[in-house]
Amino acid sequence: MSSKNTNVSYGWVSKCFHWIMLVIIFTQFYIGANMEQLKMGREHFSIGLGIFMLMVLRLIWRAKNPVPEMPEATGKLQTMAAHGLHILFYALLIGMPIAGVAIVQSKGFPVSFFGLFSLPTFFAESKSAAEVAETVHEIFAKSTFIAIVLHFCVAMYHHFIRKDNILKRMLPGNKE
């Protein structure tokens, strides 16, 4: 299987990004939603920075590869909605870590990546900025959750009702 995407299917690099990140993002949601009980604030911050880095790499990879075309029967509006939802994922999953860093730094704490390095200070200490960042982080988290549910339903609709190759071309082992 090719590492690069073709006009009809995803290559293995895009597939790895997609499915590995799904596991990381679900873990991050679980930790985020139960941070106080789990006492895993530092891990949440580090994983969030990791997601940010992976999303930027993934965006570069997407820009350098063809985006597989939708099946012929798909309307223009539906194609635009599908691509729009994909772009929304990039915006939310890059924006959410930035808002997260803003929360922590504007409360006066440092952010480190698994103790390997600390981020420079991008946000000065400010109670009001921390509150705004918390609201943005929460809205982005909820929007991402809704987008994932929608994306999952669309994928299932294609696979079980339309019976096209949309899900298959994102799964491992598909050699198209």
Binding site for ligand HEM (CB under 6 A): 14, 17-18, 21-22, 25, 28-29, 32-33, 35, 44-45, 48-49, 51, 62, 68, 82, 86, 89, 93, 96-97, 100-101, 103-104, 111, 134, 137-138, 141, 148, 151-152, 155, 166-167, 169-170
Q: How far is the CB of 119 from ligand HEM (least distance, A)?
A: 8
In angstroms, rounded to a whole number, what is the distance separating the alpha carbons of residues 65 and 38?
Answer: 40
Q: How far is the CB of 115 from ligand HEM (least distance, A)?
A: 14
Q: Which is nearer to ligand HEM, 129 or 167 (CB)?
A: 167
Q: How far is the CB of 36 from ligand HEM (least distance, A)?
A: 9
Cα 127 off chain centre by: 28
Helices (H), the chain: 12-33, 35-38, 41-63, 76-106, 127-156
Q: What are the backbone angles phi and psi of residue 117, rounded to the nearest 5°?
A: -155, 155
Q: Which is nearer to ligand HEM, 35 or 60 (CB)?
A: 35
Q: How far is the CB of 128 from ligand HEM (least distance, A)?
A: 14
Q: What are the backbone angles phi and psi of residue 112, rounded to the nearest 5°?
A: -115, 160
Question: Which residue's Cβ has the minimum distance to ligand HEM?
Answer: 100
174 forms beta bridges with none
In 3D space, the residue among 165, 167, 172 whose CA is nearest the CA of residue 17 turns out to be 172
